[in-house]
Structure 1
């Protein structure tokens, strides 16, 4: 499955978050703005991390927040939030986090394919740093498109 669309309203750069919960909520709000999820989806992403620990911190500085498909997911979507100051999720190796991706997938069978496609973007270790320093929505979209094409 390809990476879900990344519209401009699903990208927030240089956001302020004091905790990982705040950071995940910002990413959830970006999914809401793009029409991919309801506000309840952010609660689900937070609950998953509270239940299962900081497994969403998939690389140094990068978290991929997500929850199971359900009524809070309106359409497949991706959101990206970069943080002005990194936050700790409690991961032993990959904290602190500067970038929070939020993934909403409507159909259960598509979830793993979408995660795998996103992982391919970050096979290029420079992609995380490039996203963290991006200053425009166009830059973020170009980084993600280049990674998906690779």
Structure 2
């Protein structure tokens, strides 16, 4: 798991690209993974937005996922994603559907816990976010 806290980005595409770059740099995804996520957004819209302030970009295992991984990118200043204000990006990669479902379940559990989610949304500390997750 990789955690980054940054002040701001210009748009949601930049945030997703940044999180994919972190995963790619660490051997979790191939460079084409970001393009696959962009294609999903173009096709389906903002279905990645899963809770207030939270987005979970991902693509299929065959779209360049090399292994299971998660990049949490927390923005101090939210960005607009199709009319939704987003400041937490859980960019995930899974090598198969079983791992994919497991990661989705873990993230969903955090998102359903308002206290944990608020800690992540308001944190300025990577260690604090890691403890919540």
**Structure 1 residue 88, shift from structure 2 partner:** 1.2
* Structure 1 alignment gaps of length 5 or more: 1-5, 145-150
- Report the equivalent of 1:133: 122
- Report the equivalent of 1:21: 13
TM-score by length of 2: 0.90
CA distance in 2, matches of 1:135, 1:33: 23
TM-score by length of 1: 0.81
Q: How many residues align?
A: 133
- Report the equivalent of 1:89: 81
CA distance in 2, matches of 1:62, 1:141: 16
Assess if the C-alpha contact under 8 Å between 2:58 and 2:93 holds in 1. yes
**Structure 1 residue 109, shift from structure 2 partner:** 3.5
Assess if the C-alpha contact under 8 Å between 1:25 and 1:43 holds in 2. no
User: Does residue 41 of structure 1 match 2:26?
Assistant: no
- Report the equivalent of 2:67: 75
* Structure 2 alignment gaps of length 5 or more: none
Which segment drifts farther, 128-137 or 81-90?
128-137
